[in-house]
Structure 1
Amino acid sequence: MAAASLTSAGAQTWRDALPQASASRMIGEGEYRWFGLHIYTAQLWAAQATATLDTPLALQITYARSLSGQRLVDTSIAEIRRMNGSAVPDETAARWRAALSQVLPDVHAGDRLTGVYLPAEGARFYANDRATGQIQDPALARAFFAIWLDPATRAPALRQHLLGLSP
C-alpha cells in the first residue's frame, strides 16, 4: 500500500516523527516566488548538520496564498516527471498521484504543511501540526522531497538556502 491514514500511534507531532527529534534543528530557510509572487516560505530540519536525501529530515512549508490540494498534487507530479522523465511510467505516476492526494490537503495563507522524510520507510505528512497521513513508498518519498533538494530542482536558490549553503 502506497499511502495510509495515520493511526493513533501516528498522532504525534512532526517533530516526534523525525528521528532524533530532540537534536533536530533548522538547517536552512528560504522563499519560493513565482513571477515575483510570494508563494511560500520553506524550512529544512534535521538532526545532523547536513541534510541529504539519504538522511531523515523534515521540510516545512508555510503558504502565503491559498492553493487546492489537487493543485499541490498536480504540481508535485509534474515536477517529479520533469526531473525523472521516462523513469516514472504512467502507471507509477498514477499510483503516486493517488497517494499524494491522500496526504496533501487544501491550504490557505498562513497554513503550514510539513513532510517528514524517512529514507527507508517513506514519509509522514502534517497540516498545521495535525497528521494527514503517510506514504509507505520510499521511491515516491524520495522523488517528492527531491523537488526541493535535488540539484535539478526548479528553484536552485531556494535549495541552496534550505541546505544552508551560500546561493
Structure 2
Amino acid sequence: MNILQCRLWQILLVVVLSNVSAMAAANETILPGAKPSSTQRYQFWGFEIYDARLWTSPGFSVQQYTASPFVLELSYLRNFEGVAIAKRSMDEMRKLGSINAAQEKEWLKAMTDIFPNVRPGDRLMGFYKPNEGAEFWFQQKRLGAITDPQFAKLFFGIWLHEATSAPAIRQAWINGL
C-alpha cells in the first residue's frame, strides 16, 4: 500500500468514526443513556430501502415496546419524497389497527408536514414517548411531533408489532436485545 492509499484510508476512517460519533451524540440528546441495537437492512421486492436501528435503554423489550421510550433510526439507501414515506407509513399502520377516516386524514397530514424528502445517507429518527406520542428528527434537527399515543403505537408498530410486515427485523432485534 503506497502513501496515498494509506492517507485515503485514514481519511475514510475519520469520516466513518465522525458519523458514528454524530449518531451517538444525536441519540444521546434525544434519549440519554440509550444504546444501539444491531442495524437491520429493510428490502422491498429486492430493492434496498433503508438500514434500521433501535436505540434503547436497559430493560427495553420489543414485545412490550409501548412501555418504554426508544429511538428508531432509519438511514435511507434510496431517494424518497416525504409524501411517499407518509403514505406508505399510513398503509402499514392500517394493517395493525383500526383507524377511523378522521384520524387517518389528520395523521397523514401531520406526517406529510413533518417528513422531509430523503436521499441516500439521510437519517430520519423517531422518538417514541409512552402515553404521549412521537417526535421526529432529521439529520440531528427536530422536525416536529405528533402528540397522539395511538398514532405512536401504530407508527412504531410498523417495525415492532408482532404483525409487522418486516418480521425478520423485529426478530433480529428480539434476539439481540
Query: Normalised by the shorter chain, which TM-score bucket?
Result: 0.7 to 0.9
1:1-167 alignment, distance < 5 Å: 13-18=26-31, 21=32, 23-51=33-61, 52-84=65-97, 87-161=98-172, 163-165=173-175
Percentage of pairs with the same residue: 32
Cα separation, partners in 2 of 1:108 and 1:65, compared to 1, 3 Å: same
- Give the whole-Å Cα distance in 1 for the aligned partners of 2:28 and 2:149: 20
Unaligned regions of 5+ residues in structure 1, if any?
A: 1-11
- Partner of 1:147, secondary structure, is helix
- Partner of 1:77, secondary structure, is helix
Does structure 2 conserve the Cα–Cα contact (< 8 Å) formed by 1:14 and 1:125? no
Q: Which structure's CA Rg is the greater one?
A: 2
Unaligned regions of 5+ residues in structure 2, if any?
A: 1-24
Aligned residue pairs, count: 149
Provide the alpha-carbon RMSD of the alignment.
Answer: 1.6
After TM superposition, the score normalised by the length of structure 1 is 0.83
Larger helix percent: 2
- Partner of 1:126, secondary structure, is strand
Larger strand percent: 1
Does structure 2 conserve the Cα–Cα contact (< 8 Å) formed by 1:117 and 1:123? yes
- Partner of 1:28, secondary structure, is coil
After TM superposition, the score normalised by the length of structure 2 is 0.79
Does structure 1 conserve the Cα–Cα contact (< 8 Å) formed by 2:27 and 2:34? no
- Give the whole-Å Cα distance in 2 for the aligned partners of 1:121 and 1:56: 10
